[in-house]
């Protein structure tokens, strides 16, 4: 089997890449180890807590014991299914802040500033949120549908109103000109279904004769005379090579991409030698620079029985599921993240560094509801932790899970930032808008007030927001820790690129699905040797008072 381009991974970046290459007439083979994304657990937005806890759809990874979180091992879900993690995620759509991408460019990813990437964010989306396309920030004809929930529950409005009362900005489009503030949240949901990268990009691509998908486990990239010429895979118990006439593109996730690079001889020479792997390119940055977002769930008991708790029983779930199955509508058609906020933690912080997801039920990510009954919660956490971790090989066996060490909370600033998250959140829920609804704080709880008590709560309860990235970072070719250059080419090997969240120099503000798809879109133009889309000149909003005021 052979194609012009072999893409490893049918996730957010890989699906976008396959779509654009196939559209340009190139022959493309996509290799995906996971199976079908059919069925209500994935396609029904309201069922989002199920697929990431199901071994059939998830690689089942977890971190090594995290020293600063009481040696807990945190689950690290990555999609092992058509659509990758876009088929098991929370469907939240956040591009990131304009300054995130300007920082990328300053860090050596030339051509990836906000002005450079905005045209790709616009190209990839069809926005259903309003008339923002008129102001140059939103797209209207892309494969990815971006919608907003109905916000029928009064709690969604109470959250935004409480933010306003506390003195924060309000924004009607955090993905447009102004990220900072409280407002409606956006999702990759269309006509009541999860609009994953598989639905948006891969299915249309597979309708073309020049794009096919192969179900197989990628073992390593085959490199001859310094050039990637194919991918060694195991399929049906047999090992074979799928040949690439032009290039191999890795889009296997920020966990599996560095693992594949290392298995292929690209990584820190000493680490590869430990596992008896011959060195093709000594790139110590492979697997390093691992970043993620941590969050805690601040939960409140509700005075009124208006939360989703009334459906949190067998009968309620059956009714919601039946309505969705037969009509594609109702609570099952939303991920329930319908209001959100991005705020700055302090004066002197130039753009938001705290994110809120608001949810009208007190529930854990694995679907276990709070024992208190009716309640609601805000997921909150800092956006730009200074902690860095690494993905390394546990063994040279491609079937062995890699070692994942996030090194969460290893920087002292992380603790100060998280304490601010707790205190600022309490202030928001103490506003007038929540007076009719807040009964009391479930967690952390009224008894958790001092720095030491808050730190203890974080140590025991902080969870990953599942935004790993940065493990094959983009930078200048002369940067010893960069893995790919600004055209996503692996430095030191010809014919090999990376097009997923591994290439992020620094984690972006918010959820990573949108920037991961953007990387696939933009990298495709680099692969095709086209000129880039013309830079945008839309000017993002920055608080004029950021240097002197927190809000």
pLDDT of the chain, 551 residues: tens digit per residue? 999 999 999 999 999 999 999 999 999 999 999 999 999 999 999 999 899 889 999 999 999 999 999 999 999 999 999 999 999 999 999 999 999 999 999 999 999 999 999 999 999 999 998 765 667 899 999 999 999 999 999 999 999 999 999 999 999 999 999 999 999 999 999 999 999 999 999 999 999 999 999 999 999 999 999 999 999 999 999 999 999 999 999 999 999 999 999 999 999 999 999 999 999 999 999 999 999 999 999 999 999 999 999 998 999 999 999 999 999 999 999 999 999 999 999 999 999 999 999 999 998 767 777 778 999 999 999 999 999 999 999 999 999 999 999 999 999 999 999 999 999 999 999 999 999 999 999 999 999 999 999 999 999 999 999 999 999 999 999 999 999 999 999 999 999 999 999 999 999 999 999 999 999 999 999 999 999 999 999 999 999 999 999 99
Q: Domains in the chain, ordered, with CATH? A: 150-184+294-382+410-461 (3.30.410.40)
Catalytic residues: 467
pLDDT at 449: 97
Contact indicator for 176, 135 with CB cutoff of 8 Å: yes
Is the pTM higher than 0.95?
yes
Exposure string of 423-433, with b = 16+ CB inside 10 Å and e = fewer, is ebbbebbebeb
What is the Rg, in whole angstroms, of the alpha carbon atoms belonging to the chain? Answer: 22
Classify the C-alpha dihedral 153-157-163-165 as positive or negative: negative
pLDDT at 191: 97
Token pair listed for 260: 């594949």
pLDDT at 134: 66
Taking the alpha carbons at both ends of the chain, their separation in whole angstroms is 58
Run of H or E residues at 18: helix 12-23
Give the dihedral of Cα atoms 300, 305, 307, 313; nearest 10 deg: 110
Instruction: Supply angle C-alpha 475, 112, 546, rounded to 5.
Output: 105
Q: How far is CA 216 from CA 253, 291, 402, 529, in A?
A: 16, 28, 18, 29
Distance CA 17, CA 22 (A): 8
Run of H or E residues at 358: strand 354-359
Residue of 484, 356, 464 lying closest to 406 (CA atoms): 464
pLDDT at 365: 67
Q: Which residue bears the tokens 């603790």?
A: 415
SS3 of 320-331: HHHHHHHHCCCH
Write down the H helix ranges in 214-334: 253-263, 269-274, 314-327
User: DSSP of 484-547, one letter per residue?
Assistant: B-TT-BBTTSBTEEE-SGGG-SSPPSS-SHHHHHHHHHHHHHHHTTPPPPPPP-PPPP--TTTT
Contact indicator for 433, 158 with CB cutoff of 8 Å: yes
Please provide residue 490's backbone torsions phi and psi, each rounded to the nearest 5 degrees: -65, 125
User: DSSP of 262-280, one letter per residue?
Assistant: HHTTEE-HHHHHHTTPPPS
Compute the half-sphere exposure of residue 91: CA atoms within 13 Å on the CB side of its CA. 35
User: DSSP of 440-467, one letter per residue?
Assistant: EEEETTTT--SHHHHHHHHHHH-EE-S-
Contact indicator for 219, 239 with CB cutoff of 8 Å: yes
Token pair listed for 542: 């920055």
How do residues 191-237 score in pLDDT, each as one tens digit? Answer: 999 999 999 999 999 999 999 999 999 999 999 999 999 999 999 99
Residues in Cβ contact with 449 at an 8 Å cutoff, skipping those fewer than 6 apart? none
């Amino acid at each position: 089997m052979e194609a012009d381009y072999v893409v490893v991974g049918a996730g957010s970046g890989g699906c976008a890449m396959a779509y654009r290459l196939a559209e340009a007439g190139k022959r493309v083979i996509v290799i995906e180890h996971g199976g079908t994304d059919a069925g209500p657990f994935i396609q029904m937005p309201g069922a989002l807590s199920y697929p990431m806890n199901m071994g059939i759809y998830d690689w089942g990874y977890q971190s090594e014991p995290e020293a600063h979180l009481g040696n807990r091992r945190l689950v690290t879900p990555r999609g092992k299914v058509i659509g990758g993690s876009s088929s098991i995620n929370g469907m939240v759509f956040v591009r990131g802040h304009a300054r995130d991408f300007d920082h990328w460019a300053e860090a050596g990813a030339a051509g990836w500033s906000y002005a450079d990437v905005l045209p790709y964010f616009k190209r990839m989306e069809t926005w259903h949120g309003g008339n923002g396309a008129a102001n140059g920030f939103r797209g209207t004809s892309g494969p990815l549908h971006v919608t907003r929930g109905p916000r029928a529950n009064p709690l969604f409005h109470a959250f935004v109103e409480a933010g306003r009362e506390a003195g924060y900005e309000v924004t009607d489009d955090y993905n447009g000109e102004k990220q900072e503030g409280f407002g409606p949240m956006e999702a990759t949901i269309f006509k009541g279904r999860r609009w994953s990268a598989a639905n948006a990009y891969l299915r249309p691509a597979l309708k073309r004769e020049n794009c096919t998908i192969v179900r197989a486990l990628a073992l390593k990239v085959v490199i001859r005379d310094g050039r990637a010429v194919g991918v060694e895979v195991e399929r049906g118990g047999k090992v074979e090579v799928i040949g690439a006439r032009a290039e191999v593109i890795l889009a296997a996730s920020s966990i599996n991409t560095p693992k594949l690079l290392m298995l292929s001889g690209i990584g820190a020479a000493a680490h590869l030698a430990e596992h008896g792997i011959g060195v093709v390119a000594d790139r110590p940055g492979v697997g390093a620079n691992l970043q993620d977002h941590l969050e805690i769930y601040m939960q409140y008991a509700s005075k009124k029985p208006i939360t989703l708790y009334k459906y949190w029983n067998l009968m309620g779930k059956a009714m919601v599921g039946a309505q969705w199955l037969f009509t594609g509508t109702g609570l099952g058609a939303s991920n329930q993240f319908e209001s959100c906020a991005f705020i700055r933690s302090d004066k002197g912080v130039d753009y938001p560094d705290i994110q809120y997801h608001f949810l009208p039920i007190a529930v854990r990510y694995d679907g276990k509801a709070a024992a208190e009954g009716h309640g609601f919660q805000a997921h909150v956490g800092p956006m730009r932790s200074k902690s860095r971790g690494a993905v390394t090989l546990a063994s040279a066996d491609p079937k062995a899970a890699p070692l994942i060490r996030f090194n969460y909370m290893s920087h002292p600033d992380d603790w100060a930032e998280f304490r601010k998250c707790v205190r600022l959140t309490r202030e928001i829920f103490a506003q007038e808008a929540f007076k009719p609804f807040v009964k009391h704080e479930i967690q952390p709880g009224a008894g958790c007030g001092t720095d030491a008590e808050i730190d203890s709560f974080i140590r025991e309860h902080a969870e990953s927001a599942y935004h790993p990235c940065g493990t094959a970072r983009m930078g200048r070719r002369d940067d010893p820790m960069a893995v790919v250059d600004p055209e996503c080419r692996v430095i030191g090997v010809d014919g090999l690129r990376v097009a997923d969240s591994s290439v992020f120099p620094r984690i972006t503000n918010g959820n990573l699905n949108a920037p991961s798809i953007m990387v696939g879109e933009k990298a495709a133009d680099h692969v095709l040797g086209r000129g880039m889309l013309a830079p945008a000149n839309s000017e993002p909003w920055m608080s004029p008072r950021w240097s002197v005021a927190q809000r």
